[in-house]
C-alpha cells in the first residue's frame, strides 16, 4: 500500500509517524509484537477466547442491554395503533364507535423518533471521539430517564410527538455505541457473537413489549398504555450501574495516545494474568498502534467528511446499504405486526398473541445465526436470507386476495412469523456484525452513525408508506403490501451479490489491506493477506528513506512504505 500524493502523505499525523520512524529498532519491535498479536487473534479458538476474555463478554452484554430498552420502546407506539384504549384516547372515532389514529399522525409519530435518532446519532459521533464510549452512553441514559416523563403524561398527540423526538436522541446513542463497543473490546473469535447479540437484545426488548401489550390490550382505561410506558423506567438504572464500572474501549484509548490506559483496559477485559499476561497486553496495544498508523496513512483525519474519502467511501456505502436493506426487505411490517394482523383479518387479542410468538421466533433466529455465521460466513447468510424474505413477501401478497377467509388470515399471520424467524436468522443480526467489521477502526463510530442514519432515513420513508398501505381510510392494501416490499427486496438482493464482501475471520488490519487494494467483493473470501510479509525486505530501504536530505513528506512516505502490505489473489 503506497500513497500517490505527497500532500496526502504530509497530512499523516507527523507526531505518530516520527515516533515510529525515529528509531529502527523500536519500529522493528513494534512490527514484531503487532505481528504476533494479530496471529494470536486470528488463530484464537472460541473456547480460548471465552476463557481469556470473560470480562469483555460481560461488559459488552451490559452495554447491549441499552438496545433491549430501545427495542422495547420503539415497538410500543406502532402496536399502540391497534390498541382500542389508545385509539380511543388519541384517535378519531366514526359513527359506529370504531376509533383509529389518522394515518398522517401515525406517520408523524413513527417518524418523530427517527428524526430524534438522526440528531442523536450525529451528536454521538462527535461526543464519542471526544469523551469516549462510557461517558457518552452514561449521559444518554440520564437523558432517557428524563424524557420518559413526556409520553407518560402526554395529554394529546402533539405532546406525544415531542416525546418521541426527544426520546430518539438517546436512542441514537444506543444504536451506535453498543455495536462499536462490542466490536472493539472482543477478539476476532467472539466478534460475530457479541455484535449480532445487539440484534438479539433488540428482539428481547420487542418480545417483552409484546408480552406487556398483550397483558394490557383488553383494559379499557388509560393504564392500558401508561403501564407499558412506565416500565421504561426500569431499564436505565441497572444499565447505568453496569456502564459505570465498564472499562473504556482500548482502541479509543490508543487513538487518544493513552497507551498505558489502553493496556490497563485490556487487562480489565481479560480474565487474569495467567490467561492474559502483561506481555500480551503490550503486544495487543502494539497491534492497535500498527493498525491505527496504517489507517492514518490510507486516509488521514477522523471527521465525518473522511468517511467519504478514498477507501472509506466504499466502506461507508457498504455499511449504509447493509442497514438500509433491513428496511427495504420488508422489515417495517414486523414493527407494525399487531396492526398488520388486525388488517389481515385477525381479532385484536389474537393479533397480539401472534406478535408474542413472532418475536419469540425472532430471538430463536438470532441465537441460531451464531452457528451459521461460523460455518458459511456473513455474505452468504445475508444474501440467502434476503432471497427467502423475498419469497415470503410474494406469498403474503398473494394470499391477501382471499383474506376474507379466516384460514387465509391465519396463513398470512403464519407467513409473517416465518418471515421474522428468517429475518432474525440472517438480515437482522448479520447486519450488526457487518457494520462493525466493515468500518475502519479510526472512523468506526462515525461510519456507524452515518450508516444508522441512512437506516433512519429509510425508516422515515417506510413510516410514510406503511401506515397508508394498511390504514383502512387510505390505500387499504392489507397483506398486499408484501408485493411492494418484494419489489424493493429484489433490488437489495442485486446490490448484495455485487457489492457485499465477506469479512469472516479477518482482523481489522487485514480488512484495511483488502479495501486499500480495491479487491472485488466476491473475492474477499479467497484473497490471501499477509500484513507483515514485506517488512524484512524494506527494513534496509527505510534507513535511506529517512536520510536528512529527504523532504519531510518523503520521510513520512518512507515510514508508510514500511507498513506496505503484501497480498495476492487466489483464482
pLDDT in tens, the chain (571 residues): 444 433 443 343 344 444 444 433 455 666 666 667 767 776 788 888 888 888 999 999 999 888 888 888 877 877 788 788 888 888 888 777 778 888 788 888 888 888 898 899 889 888 988 899 999 999 999 999 999 999 999 999 999 999 999 998 998 888 788 888 988 888 888 888 888 888 888 888 888 888 888 888 788 888 888 998 899 898 899 999 999 999 999 989 988 889 899 999 988 988 765 667 777 888 888 888 878 777 776 665 678 888 898 888 999 999 999 999 999 998 877 766 666 677 667 777 777 777 788 788 888 998 999 888 888 889 999 999 999 999 999 998 888 777 566 777 778 778 888 888 999 999 999 999 999 889 888 888 889 889 988 998 898 888 788 878 877 667 878 778 889 999 999 999 999 999 999 998 888 888 888 888 889 999 988 888 766 554 443 343 444 443 444 433 343 344 334 433 333 333 3
- Cβ density class 177-214: b for 16+ within 10 Å, e for less: bbbbbbbbbbbbbbbbbbbbbbbbbbbbbbbbbbbbbb
Q: Is residue 283 part of a domain?
A: no
Boundary of a domain, candidates 441, 468, 500 = 500
- The CATH number linked to 230 is 1.20.1250.20
Q: Is residue 281 part of a domain?
A: no
Whole-angstrom distance, CA of residue 415 vs CA of residue 423: 12
Q: How many residues does the chain have?
A: 571
Report pLDDT for 328. Answer: 93
Count: domains in the chain: 2
Is residue 494 located within the same domain as residue 524? Answer: no
Q: Do residues 346 and 411 lie in contact, with contact meaning Cβ atoms separated by under 8 Å?
A: no
Report pLDDT for 549. Answer: 42
Is residue 34 located within the same domain as residue 50? Answer: no
Report pLDDT for 371. Answer: 87
Q: Is residue 305 part of a domain?
A: yes
DSSP for residue 341: H
Is residue 406 located within the same domain as residue 476? Answer: yes
Nearest alpha-carbon partner for 120 in 177, 205, 184, 183: 177
Boundary of a domain, candidates 466, 500, 534 = 500
Q: Is residue 155 part of a domain?
A: yes
Is residue 388 located within the same domain as residue 432? Answer: yes
Q: Is residue 257 part of a domain?
A: no
Whole-angstrom distance, CA of residue 398 vs CA of residue 420: 18
Report pLDDT for 122. Answer: 87
Helix 348-399 to helix 481-499 angle (10° resolution) is 70
Is residue 177 located within the same domain as residue 324? Answer: yes
Is residue 556 located within the same domain as residue 433? Answer: no
Domain region containing 561: 6-42+520-569
Report pLDDT for 246. Answer: 93
Q: Is residue 492 part of a domain?
A: yes
Is residue 424 located within the same domain as residue 492? Answer: yes
CA 157 to chain CA mean position, Å: 31
Torsion of CA 465, 467, 468, 471, to 10 degrees: 160
Is residue 338 located within the same domain as residue 306? Answer: yes
Is residue 477 located within the same domain as residue 529? Answer: no
Report pLDDT for 248. Answer: 93
Nearest alpha-carbon partner for 369 in 199, 505, 175: 199
Is residue 437 located within the same domain as residue 545? Answer: no
DSSP for residue 248: P
Partner residues linked to 569 by β-bridges:
527
Report pLDDT for 403. Answer: 55
Q: Is residue 51 part of a domain?
A: yes
Whole-angstrom distance, CA of residue 262 vs CA of residue 249: 8
Is residue 392 located within the same domain as residue 533? Answer: no
Is residue 434 located within the same domain as residue 331? Answer: yes
CA 390 to chain CA mean position, Å: 22
Amino acid at each position: 500500500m503506497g500513497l500517490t500524493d505527497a500532500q496526502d502523505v504530509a497530512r499523516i499525523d507527523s507526531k505518530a509517524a516520527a515516533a515510529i520512524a525515529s528509531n529502527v529498532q523500536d519500529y522493528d519491535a513494534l512490527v514484531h509484537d503487532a505481528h504476533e498479536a494479530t496471529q494470536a487473534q486470528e488463530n484464537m479458538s472460541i473456547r480460548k477466547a471465552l476463557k481469556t476474555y470473560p470480562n469483555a463478554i460481560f461488559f459488552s452484554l451490559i452495554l447491549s442491554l441499552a438496545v433491549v430498552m430501545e427495542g422495547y420502546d420503539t415497538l410500543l407506539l406502532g402496536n399502540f395503533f391497534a390498541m382500542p384504549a389508545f385509539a380511543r384516547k388519541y384517535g378519531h372515532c366514526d359513527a359506529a364507535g370504531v376509533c383509529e389514529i389518522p394515518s398522517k399522525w401515525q406517520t408523524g409519530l413513527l417518524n418523530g423518533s427517527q428524526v430524534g435518532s438522526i440528531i442523536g446519532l450525529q451528536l454521538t459521533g462527535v461526543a464519542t471521539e471526544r469523551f469516549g464510549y462510557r461517558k457518552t452512553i452514561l449521559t444518554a441514559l440520564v437523558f432517557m430517564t428524563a424524557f420518559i416523563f413526556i409520553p407518560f403524561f402526554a395529554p394529546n398527540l402533539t405532546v406525544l410527538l415531542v416525546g418521541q423526538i426527544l426520546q430518539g436522541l438517546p436512542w441514537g446513542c444506543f444504536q451506535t455505541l453498543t455495536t462499536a463497543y462490542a466490536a472493539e473490546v472482543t477478539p476476532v473469535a467472539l466478534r460475530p457473537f457479541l455484535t449480532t447479540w445487539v440484534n438479539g437484545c433488540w428482539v428481547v426488548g420487542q418480545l417483552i413489549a409484546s408480552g406487556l401489550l398483550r397483558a394490557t390490550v383488553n383494559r379499557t382505561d388509560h393504564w392500558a398504555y401508561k403501564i407499558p410506558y412506565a416500565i421504561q423506567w426500569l431499564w436505565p438504572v441497572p444499565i447505568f450501574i453496569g456502564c459505570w464500572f465498564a472499562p473504556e474501549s482500548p482502541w479509543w484509548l490508543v487513538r487518544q495516545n493513552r497507551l498505558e490506559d489502553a493496556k490497563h483496559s485490556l487487562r480489565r477485559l481479560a480474565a487474569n494474568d495467567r490467561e492474559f499476561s502483561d506481555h500480551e497486553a503490550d503486544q495487543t496495544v502494539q497491534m492497535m498502534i500498527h493498525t491505527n498508523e496504517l489507517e492514518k496513512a490510507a486516509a488521514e483525519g477522523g471527521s465525518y467528511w473522511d468517511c467519504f474519502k478514498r477507501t472509506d467511501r466504499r466502506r461507508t456505502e457498504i455499511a449504509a446499504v447493509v442497514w438500509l436493506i433491513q428496511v427495504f426487505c420488508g422489515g417495517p411490517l414486523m414493527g407494525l405486526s399487531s396492526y398488520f394482523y388486525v388488517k389481515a383479518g385477525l381479532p385484536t387479542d389474537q393479533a397480539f398473541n401472534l406478535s408474542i410468538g413472532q418475536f419469540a421466533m425472532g430471538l430463536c433466529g438470532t441465537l441460531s445465526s451464531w452457528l451459521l455465521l461460523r460455518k458459511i460466513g456473513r455474505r452468504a447468510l445475508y444474501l440467502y436470507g434476503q432471497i427467502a424474505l423475498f419469497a415470503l413477501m410474494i406469498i403474503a401478497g398473494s394470499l391477501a386476495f382471499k383474506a376474507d377467509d379466516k384460514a387465509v388470515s391465519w396463513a398470512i399471520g403464519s407467513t409473517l412469523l416465518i418471515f421474522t424467524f428468517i429475518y432474525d436468522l440472517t438480515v437482522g443480526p448479520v447486519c450488526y456484525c457487518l457494520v462493525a467489521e466493515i468500518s475502519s477502526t479510526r472512523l468506526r463510530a462515525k461510519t456507524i452513525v452515518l450508516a444508522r442514519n441512512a437506516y433512519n432515513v429509510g425508516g422515515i420513508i417506510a413510516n410514510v408508506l406503511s401506515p397508508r398501505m394498511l390504514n383502512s381510510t387510505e390505500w387499504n392494501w392489507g397483506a398486499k403490501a408484501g408485493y411492494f416490499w418484494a419489489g424493493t427486496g429484489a433490488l437489495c438482493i442485486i446490490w448484495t451479490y455485487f457489492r457485499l464482501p465477506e469479512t469472516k475471520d479477518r482482523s481489522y488490519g487485514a480488512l484495511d489491506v483488502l479495501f486499500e487494494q480495491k479487491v472485488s467483493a466476491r473475492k474477499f473470501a479467497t484473497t490471501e493477506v499477509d500484513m507483515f510479509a514485506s517488512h524484512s525486505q524494506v527494513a534496509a530501504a527505510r534507513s535511506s528513506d529517512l536520510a536528512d536530505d529527504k523532504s519531510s513528506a518523503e520521510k513520512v512516505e518512507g515510514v508508510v512504505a514500511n507498513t506496505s502490505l503484501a497480498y495476492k489473489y487466489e483464482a
